[in-house]
């Protein structure tokens, strides 16, 4: 298998295979035993390529499982909807967990086309180093490490224009070759939707074990419609749903501490959705404008504004999440 270079762009990154056109809607997958043979393959321009690819068990899966064996809890942060503050919450979750000096925490940014964790964690100008033990993650603090494609881009604003095959290869590298050492928690921030990154991370980590998914939503029905799809994906993929958090649930004035509704929950919001679908509601986090400021500055909102109702709400969610994974 070809290797990804430590610093990548679309020109220098090798790939396992190159398809002639995007995969059709019901594509069984180029690595599937049914590649080139299913009904969806008829007339597909990729048929000959898929038929020629090696089949059988992925030899990288045991390597991934071995590399992740020192990580106790692995948590996916998911949302079918963009703009609900998923990456923001993943960053705050990482800050909150690492506030316990007895915990070792890792944050993996799987939003390959729109990586934002490095900026939110205050390490945008760092680079990844490669050694005999693999890629060394970037350390935000003594007990908080992070990995993102952002550290490998030639320019901060370089666009990632990749098909699924290149995304899959990078995800494998993050799982197989990053020297995480021992971690209590690995927080994995994913992009919106239910496509390449989600399917790949579930496939590659199935043997190493995923504790489950933390699903993020906002109160309005437009967001809940896509979150329902994400929950359905988790059920079909066999991913345990640890619970749902309702983000931007009301607005907290930083001066008077008064709260008002910005995104009104016309159908009951996240809590009603949890009751309907039988999943755990972890709590609501109000919108505080200083959260955005802290993320822009790459600082911990929880440390800067511990008296904010949003900080209290986030810490309550983290406590409920730790209880859900059995770490009490």
Binding site per annotation, positions for ATP: 80-87
Give dist(CA 113, CA 123) in Å, integer: 18
The binding site for [4Fe-4S] cluster consists of 27, 41, 44, 50, 253, 256
The binding site consists of 27, 41, 44, 50, 80-87, 253, 256
The answer to whether the Cα torsion of 247, 250, 251, 256 is positive or negative is negative
Going from the C-alpha of 307 to that of each of 42, 142, 245, 319, the distances in angstroms are 61, 25, 20, 17
CB proximity list for 162: less than 8 A, separation 6 or greater: 10, 13, 112, 113
Give dist(CA 216, CA 189) in Å, integer: 11
Q: What are the backbone angles phi and psi of residue 142, rounded to the nearest 5°? A: -60, -30
Q: Locate tokens 């008077």: which residue? A: 256
User: Which tokens go with 26?
Assistant: 């019901």
Residues 291 and 301: beta-carbon distance below 8 Å:
yes
Residue among 248, 323, 311, 229 at smallest CA distance from 280: 323
Pairing mode of beta strands 71-78, 183-189: parallel
Pairing mode of beta strands 138-141, 134-136: unpaired
């Amino acid at each position: 298998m070809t290797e990804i270079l430590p610093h990548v762009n679309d020109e220098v990154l090798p790939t396992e295979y190159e398809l002639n056109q995007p995969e059709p809607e019901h594509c069984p997958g180029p690595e599937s035993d049914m590649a080139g043979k299913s009904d969806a393959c008829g007339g597909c321009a990729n048929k000959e390529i898929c038929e020629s690819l090696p089949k059988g068990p992925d030899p990288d899966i045991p390597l991934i499982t071995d590399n992740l064996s020192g990580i106790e809890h692995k948590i996916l942060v998911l949302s079918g909807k963009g703009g609900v503050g998923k990456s923001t919450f993943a960053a705050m979750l990482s800050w909150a967990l690492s506030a316990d000096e007895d915990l070792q925490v890792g944050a993996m940014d799987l939003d390959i086309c729109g990586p934002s964790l490095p900026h939110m964690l205050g390490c945008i100008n760092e680079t990844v180093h490669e050694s005999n033990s693999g890629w060394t993650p970037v350390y935000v603090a003594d007990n908080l490490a992070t990995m993102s494609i952002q550290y490998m881009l030639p320019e901060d604003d370089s666009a990632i224009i990749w098909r699924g095959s290149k995304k899959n290869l990078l995800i494998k590298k993050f799982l197989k070759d990053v020297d995480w050492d021992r971690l209590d928690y690995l927080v994995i921030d994913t992009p919106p939707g239910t496509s390449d990154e989600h399917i790949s991370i579930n496939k590659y980590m199935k043997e190493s074990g995923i504790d489950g998914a933390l699903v993020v939503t906002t109160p309005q029905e437009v967001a809940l419609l896509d979150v329902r799809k994400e929950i359905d994906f988790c059920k079909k993929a066999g991913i345990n749903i640890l619970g749902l958090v309702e983000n931007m649930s009301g607005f907290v004035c930083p001066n008077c501490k008064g709260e008002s509704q910005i995104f009104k929950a016309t159908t009951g919001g996240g809590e009603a959705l949890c009751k309907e679908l039988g999943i755990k509601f972890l709590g609501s986090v109000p919108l505080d404008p200083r959260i955005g400021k802290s993320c822009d500055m790459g600082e911990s909102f929880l440390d800067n504004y511990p008296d904010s109702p949003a900080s209290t709400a986030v810490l309550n969610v983290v406590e409920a999440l730790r209880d859900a994974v059995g770490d009490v």
